[in-house]
């Protein structure tokens, strides 16, 4: 059986005359951590947006676990087992940490009117199970954060807000997690701490794949098994970190031609 979890074939995304993804072929393997690199405007976040159903591709195909998910809604992609974070925080700061995390698990919650109005014991049991699961996930990242589960998300530090966003993406137990610049707004020390947290959590939970967009090259070097580099929507390199940083085309893409 193939270990390819996600496959993009000929994936193209046009915005008028701008080609953001240009017949991109890309594979993500089961249980791997893949770094998605490239200069600003190279198509990295556009790739995430197409995969997760925020954009409908102009051409090409995306398959997940061998099933075509091209053109599916964001909700359908989420139900298939793909979750993500965003470069800019999407937390609802007035809500509690618990509320922000549980939003990420809505596919497992019973949302029927009859159940919620008349099955009060069932509602309570579901709530208690969510509290237990959320507390355990937060504790895996940080015992101190688990103690703040019912505090407003707006009261947290930047690194704890990032942890909450990642917990929200993980609460539904995805098989693929897409991280869009998780270090944005943090110091180098905070970034290193967060990456250690992510890898520890990944080791403790059921194995899942990660694709990470990140400009901190020391992060990419530390946690990825493979990297793909994009430029102008095209793949220009694919290999381990040492291979891609030595690639002359990658160096030109990042540093420019003298």
Number of C-beta neighbours around residue 240 at 10 A: 13
Q: Residue written as tokens 């694709």?
A: 211
CA dihedral for 68, 71, 72, 75, sign (positive or negative): positive
**Confidence band, pLDDT 50/70/90 cuts, at residue 113:** very low
* pLDDT tens-place string over residues 127-178: 788 899 999 999 988 899 999 999 999 999 999 999 999 999 999 899 999 9
Q: What's the CA gap between 2 and 20, in Å, rounded?
A: 29
The full DSSP string for 202-245 is HHHSS--EEEEE-S-HHHHHHH-SEEEEEETTEEEEEE-HHHHH
Q: What's the CA gap between 159 and 219, in Å, rounded?
A: 15
DSSP state of 149: T
Number of C-beta neighbours around residue 245 at 10 A: 18
Query: What is the reported pLDDT for 1?
Result: 42
Residue 257 has pLDDT above 80, yes or no: no
Number of C-beta neighbours around residue 55 at 10 A: 17
Query: What is the reported pLDDT for 108?
Result: 58
pTM attached to this predicted model: 0.90
**For the stretch 196-205, what's the b/e string if a residue is b when 16 or more beta carbons lie within 10 angstroms of its beta carbon?**
ebbeebbeee
Helix (H, G, I), strand (E, B) or coil at 258: coil
Judge contact between 29 and 3, C-beta under 8 A.
yes
């Amino acid at each position: 059986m193939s270990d390819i979890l996600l496959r993009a074939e000929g994936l193209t995304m046009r915005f008028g005359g701008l080609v953001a993804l240009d017949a991109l072929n890309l594979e993500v393997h089961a249980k791997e951590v893949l770094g998605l690199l490239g200069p600003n405007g190279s198509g990295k976040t556009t790739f995430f947006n197409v995969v997760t159903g925020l954009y409908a591709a102009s051409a090409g195909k995306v398959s997940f676990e061998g099933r075509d998910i091209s053109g599916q809604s964001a909700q359908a992609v989420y139900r298939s087992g793909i979750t993500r974070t965003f470069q800019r925080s999407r937390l609802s700061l007035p809500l509690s940490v618990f509320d922000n995390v549980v939003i990420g698990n809505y596919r497992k919650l019973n949302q029927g009117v009859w159940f919620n109005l008349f099955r009060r014991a069932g509602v309570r049991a579901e709530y208690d199970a969510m509290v237990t699961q959320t507390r355990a996930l937060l504790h895996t990242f940080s015992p101190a954060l688990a103690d703040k589960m019912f505090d407003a998300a707006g009261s947290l530090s930047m690194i704890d807000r990032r942890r909450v966003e990642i917990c929200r993406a993980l609460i539904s137990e995805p098989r693929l997690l897409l991280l869009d610049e998780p270090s944005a707004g943090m110091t180098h020390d905070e970034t290193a701490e967060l990456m250690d947290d992510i890898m520890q959590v990944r080791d403790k939970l059921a194995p899942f794949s990660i694709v990470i967009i990140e400009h901190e090259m020391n992060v990419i070097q530390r946690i990825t098994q493979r990297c793909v580099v994009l430029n102008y929507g095209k793949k220009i390199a694919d290999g381990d970190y040492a291979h891609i940083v030595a690639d002359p085309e990658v160096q030109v893409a990042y540093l420019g031609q003298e």
